[in-house]
Structure 1
Amino acid sequence: MTEEVSQAYDIIPNRYEYLTLPHERVFFTTEQGFYGSAPHDCWNEYPKKTAGVDPSEVVRTGDVIVVPLDSSVPWVLRKTDVEGKYKLVVECDTGAFLEGDLKPLEPTAITHSVETAILLTCTQIHLEASHALRMRDFVLSIYLSTETPLTEHATSPVDPFVLVILNRDLPSFCHNLMDTGNLIMKDFEKRLKMTINVAPKAFKSPASRRYRAPLDPFFTETTVKNLLRPFRTELRGFPNVQVTGKVSAGLAAAVHKEIASNEISDWRAAFEKMVQEKEAGSKLFQQGNIELASLAWLDATADIDRIHQSSTWEELVREGGESFLMSVAELYFLMRLNIAHTELARVVSEGYFTILAEDSLLMARKSLEKGFWAKGQWKWEPEDRHKAKLWYREAMCTRLSGSVERAALAERLLEKALELAPNDAAILKEKESVIAWRLRGYGYGY
């Protein structure tokens, strides 16, 4: 293996001289269009401009990413017709071959367990631990059941499972459940079935010499309300949540009603919140804090995506009508353009990846399709100047991604942009940069 690696290393262009020969390698199977399995820490030293691979064009299903352990630059290997041989894809300009038994890593389940042996040390430690558990934190048992996986990556149904969680972690749990559910699964809140069991398992234990106090009296009405508060404040629009256990019927019904109620029932309030989030990002941008501005707009568009995928969206559209749809569509499109602008600026100045810019431009374009915002043939059309910005930033993103074989596409995008804004200085300058990049024939258009 070492001999073949050495031969391949000699063929790599001189601009990769900083690579040192690894003694070990880690292999990752790729998916079409992105480096799905590569860990982030493999990219922290050298930006994508040195990686030599454009994922949207070069990487194919079945390719293998080889990440040298002493370098952040990945190599992409592609199987050939010859058994056991792999083509090394770097800038798509090398014909090197490697031999060896290169097997992608299989997904590995991460397990965690709590070591309870200390509780068996002696009676005193056991009693103190039991007392601390009751008085310093609370434990809830949460039963989750859904017919579909919680993530898009899973291909099989997820069996119901029981989650035991500390009270201190409940706000984060509820927030993340609310914040990300609809982003990964449409109508997630309707599909999810959850049972909150207060004081599960033998919480009616009598007082004895072994325990300082029985557990049952500890769960007063006040304590139970404190336990359920994160669910009542964070979760909305989940109709299939039941509260059981040591809780009064009235409180259980009230919690169920609050959790099942819609997050936003008034379309005006919903849109006003979207505007405020956009303006928060604009204020940060005007202050020169580009990174935080981009993050603010990313959060704002994620909120719109979440509401758009939720069961309340149709109700908001029905009440707000076409004016609501047009306002949201324009706000969303402009924020996506803003994200692309800030992220491309960071690519140039700091060597960041183009992935966030690519994603925002993709979503901006998708938001213009028929049926995206409302069922049927309804679509939103931006102003010409905003269309020109979209095409200009798509061309710039193509150049900065380093896929020189897509230079012709970048030029076509710029021609379309110039038809709408023929005297735009930024577009004209970008056209010159793309032409120079194409004539050079390789590398990144920095």
Structure 2
Amino acid sequence: MRRPQHPTRSPQPDDTVEYAEGPRASARADAARRRKYRRRRIGVAFAVVAVLVIAAGGIYVATLFARVSDNIAANIVERPDGAAVEIPDWNGPVNLLIMGSDTRADLTSGTYGDDDVEGSRSDTLMLLHVNAAHTDATLVSIPRDTMTARPECTYPDGSTSDAQDVAQINGAFDVGPFCTLDTVREMTGIDVDHFVVVNFDGFIDITNAVGGVDVCLAEPVSDPDSQLFLEAGPHTIQGAEALAFVRTRYGIGDGSDLGRIHTQQVYLSALARKVKSAGTLANPVALFNLADAATRSIQVDSGLSDTSTLVGLASTLATVDLGNMTLLQMPAEDYPEDTNRVQPSPEAETLWAALRADQPVRLGVSDAVVPEPGDDAADGGEGEADGGETTTAPETDATPATDPAVTLGPDVRGQTADNATCAGG
């Protein structure tokens, strides 16, 4: 499918949306500025929770068809330019855009930073690719401060926004989720036609429904902005504490948005392990709560409006082994005009080309794995168990020799979902 071609124009002063310090911001930012940017969004965790939960509950979701259908029916987004949105059959490769909205409209679970924030942005933006065999999945987190071309877009009222040669990617969502969808298609060349949008509500219910998520901290955290106060080491977090964990920015690592993406990937990997565990899948009450909470907190395009379509999506994800589920950050470099922003690096095109060709993606180096008690790696030696050097995955029936995996360079940060890693490491 060809991506739509649009005329471009030079960016105007108001084209770049300024909402936060850039990804290279210092962790020592003064307190006043930290309060100003406290409203930075929950990020990766909010946006992918619903997809993981729906995948886990796919087998059971038929028993609560009516409830889920009602939840989804209230949150369908039609394409404002009137173009048809096809209903997917999920045969072959799957491409899905997952967005986390920072809108304050109609929230009921509480307050999230500055309540007077107007408009909406996709401060979480992830591209999910599942290969045609449904044996490998790649989840790419796109930094919210990525600068890229934006096509002409249509507002819900039918008016249009001009194409831009360059704009901050998270601002496209203020036009609408289809504008973000088209922008990602333009940037990646990948035929992604469907999306899921998740807001703040429902996150606490979801984490409570799975009985908490096991995470690890490489360093203690004391962050009054997100209200997260935890010692270094392993923790089981849920509810408001889980919310604080995925929101914290200055409390862990270097205080950048890229650092926070890593923290959120630690959480998401742990969540995936918990959701796909036998205990969760075998518990009808837990699955009911998960499916209900997830579908209450999402919006979908009209092509995903039927519950059976989401069940089909669930089946594509349920077959992916955690070791073949790769979470990574989009390869990025400083944006020349503003080093507080980023742009896709040359290696990003290697990634996009691999996904367009439906090739599995592997990381050159993984983050450190938390050794289990009695593990041979507990003494801190390097090797597979402690997350030292990682090699390209051996070929199996799921990775035929005619479709080899593409291994990204060591600077691309990420992990597979079966790796238990520590945030802040």
TM-score range, shorter chain: under 0.3
TM-score, L = length of structure 1: 0.20
Under a length normalisation based on structure 2, what TM-score does the superposition of the two structures give?
A: 0.21
Larger strand proportion of the pair: 2
Larger RCO of the pair (alpha carbons < 8 Å, separation 6+): 2
Higher radius of gyration, 1 or 2: 1
User: By percentage of residues, which structure has more helix?
Assistant: 1
